[in-house]
Structures are given as C-alpha cells and as structure tokens.
Amino acid sequence: MRIEKLTRDSLADMQKKLLRRSTDSYPEQEAAVNAILSDVRARGDEAVFEYELRFDRCTLDASSIRVTKEEIEAAYKEVPEELVGIIRRAIERIRRFHEMQKQKSWFETEDNGMVLGQRVTPLNRVGVYVPGGKAAYPSSVLMNVIPAKVAGVNEIIMCTPPGADGRVEPTTLVAANEASADAVYKTGGAQAVAAMAYGTETIPKVDKITGPGNIYVALAKRAVYGHVSIDSVAGPSEITVLADETADARFVAADLLSQAEHDELASAILVTTSAELAEQVSGEIDNFCKVLSRAEIIGKSLDNFGHILVAETMQDAIDAVNEIASEHLEIQTKDPFLTMTKIRNAGAIFVGPWSSEPLGDYFAGPNHVLPTNGTAKFFSALSVDDFIKKTSIIYSSLEALEALHTDIEAFASAERLTAHANSVAVRFEN
C-alpha cells in the first residue's frame, strides 16, 4: 500500500481521486439507465422480463417473478440451522437498536386555545433493493427491512437479482422471511428500480426505495428521485482508520481489507501519526493478501483507492479524517473516546481496537447503510426516520388568532401577498 506524508496537497489529490467514483462520472452508464427507466415505465412487466433475460440470463414471466412460499421453504433447507439462528439473533439486536429511534406524535396547547403539534405516520409502501452478483448480502436485507418494520410501514417489497436458473440466493430469502418482508421479486439493476418507482402489472409502485447496489442501481435511484423518495445515492464502500503508535498493525490491516474486498472501487485509508505503524500495516496487508479469497479484488481496490497518510500531529490527522468524512471510521488510538469527541464527520464510528468494522456490518445493531463519498458531512445512516413522515398540526381559537392577526396581515403585506393578508382580515371585518 502506498505511504504518503499527509499534506494539504496529498489530501486534496486523494479526495479528488475518490470523487471520481461518484455517479457524475459515468455518462455512458447514465444514458443506458435512462433508456431502461423509460422503457420499463412505458412497457411495464414486458420490459422487465426482457432486461432480466439480457442481463441476468433468466427467463421470467408474471407467474414466476414473485418468489413463492415454496421457494422460501426450499431456501430454509439449503441454509444451515446455525446460520438461521445467527440471522435471528442479529435481527433482535438490530430491532432493539432501531426501536430506540422511534418518534411519537406530540401536541401542545397554549393558554389562548391554540393547539400546535406534529403527527408522525409511517410510509405506506417501501421498496428495498438487495444486490446480488459478486456476493450474497442477507445483512443488507435486515438493515433495510427491520427499520421499516419498526417504523410501521404497511407493506415492504424487495427486489433482488436472480441467477440464470431463476433462483434467489437462499440466505437472502431466509433473511427476507425472517425480517418479515411482504414480497420478494426476482429482478435487479435499473429495471428493478424502475419497476418499484413506476409500478408494473406485477410489481407495485412504492413511496420510497432504499438499499445499496452497483453503479446502474445508484444512477437509477438518482434518476427516479422526486417521483419517489430514496434513502441516498450509495457509492462504493469506504473505511478510514485513525491510529497512533499504540494501534495493533495486524488489526488495522485486517480492518482495511474488510472493506477493500467489496469491489475494485472500494477505498481503504489509514491516517496515522506513526511512520513505523504505517510500514507495519503495509507489510501485514501484503501477508494477508497471500491467503484471502478475494485477493484479486482487494489488490485492484488498494492499487486505485488505498492510501496510508502519515501526519505530523494527531490534530492534523483528526482534521484530515473530518475532511474525508468516511462511511466507516475506526479509531485506534491511546484514548479513543477522547479522540471520538473531536470527530464531526463519519457515517459510523468504531471506537477502540475491539470494535472491528464487521461488528457494525452484521451484529452490533446500528444500521450499516451509511453515507459515502464525503456525504457524511451532511447525511446520516439509514434509520427509522427514513420510513416516516411528519405532518404539522395547527388549530387556532378565535382568541389566539385575534392576538396575532395584525402581525400576520402586516407580514403578508410586506411580501405584497394581499390575498394572504385578506384571508386573515376577513375574519375580523365585524
């Protein structure tokens, strides 16, 4: 892994390179996605079936696109009971964490009779996208479906790409059933996003689409935003480790590689105040890559987006980490909780040497759907809040409006909105 001195220029160059992975950098794919969206919107199921045959080599029709009860039962026979138990224990932890995020409606009555409040209601129907392809992601099923269930969403449908044989990865189906998804459809890519956004003869239109995917899914979600809501436009996975001389080089290397193995566009960054640790981590990474199963993907990821930055001071390192605003941030320093208080920008923060990033991916409880590409500066993790809407409630008595009407009329008149002023004034003509 390349080792560089942390400077303003080296940080800027690295960020510029990382931003090349954003959805703005794929004009050819964007054109293809827009064509798919338009086609599915116009032809519905027929277009979805054609794209599944073209991209997933899977022949589907209206009778086979939805996963059946029998297919779910068959999936349980292929998934070891031990793994089913692990999925259930993960669900309990994830549900318990998200239950703490629930909001309640509230009302406040003023002395003059005015009642103000906020009503919290869940979305009616949500679509969850779960990727397939290079790996199975039952954890993504849990992280998207469970907060929606906790929020009280009425109907949760899921789309995931099938294999050429028309089967969905068994662990994905088991996870969907255990998390209580209402329906699973065998379609992926931009055509799945289009089907959920516009609705087809078999796939109902949703109010919001959540879940990660490849560049085609990300571009499709961005394109349909406004027609439906989305969680975010997810980019490739990222990890930054902030470490000093007390960190264990083997731990740091292993954690960096845990994200580099996702795909060739994933980024893994170490920011440290120790040149010695930097060299040790680089060596440990070389050793791990000799035995890890996805070494080829890891190698490409690290060649393109792997960095070790050596800072002169811990404050310089912290400033760099806040500027990077990574999806996952691990803190492995002498006093990690003190360091954590100085972090402003990160999707999720893992504090201390035993808080390995995969703890958050699978089992800790907080959501692993996180902001990427520096958007942790202004976006948050997926949560129960993503599956509710808040409606303001206003009731005024005559007494309350009488005390305010001259101010309202003057305010409206200042904006030259005379009909606004008149709407209040007519109530006090007599």
Distance (Å, whole) CA 195 – CA 48: 8
Cβ–Cβ under 8 Å, residues 220 and 190: yes
Burial 107-142 (b: 16+ CB within 10 A, else e): eeeeeeebeeeeebebbebbbbbbbbeeebbbbbbb
> Across the strands, what pairs with 395?
115
Q: Which two tokens stand for residue 240?
A: 């930054």
Query: Which residues neighbour 172 within 8 Å (Cβ) at sequence distance 6 or greater?
Result: 130, 132, 136, 137, 138, 141, 160
Query: Which among 385, 401, 416, 428 has a CA at the least distance from the CA of 153?
Result: 385
Residue 194: CB atoms within 10 A of its CB come to 27
List active site positions.
327-328
Distance (Å, whole) CA 13 – CA 105: 47
Distance (Å, whole) CA 382 – CA 384: 7
Query: Which residues neighbour 401 within 8 Å (Cβ) at sequence distance 6 or greater?
Result: 424, 427
Distance (Å, whole) CA 191 – CA 194: 5
* 331 phi and psi angles, rounded to 5 deg: -115, 115
Q: In the sheet that 155-160 helps form, which strands lie side by side, from edge to edge?
A: 183-186, 155-160, 125-129, 208-210, 229-230
Strand 183-186 with 238-243, pairing = unpaired
Burial of 323 from C-beta contacts in 10 A (0-12 / 13-18 / 19+):
middle
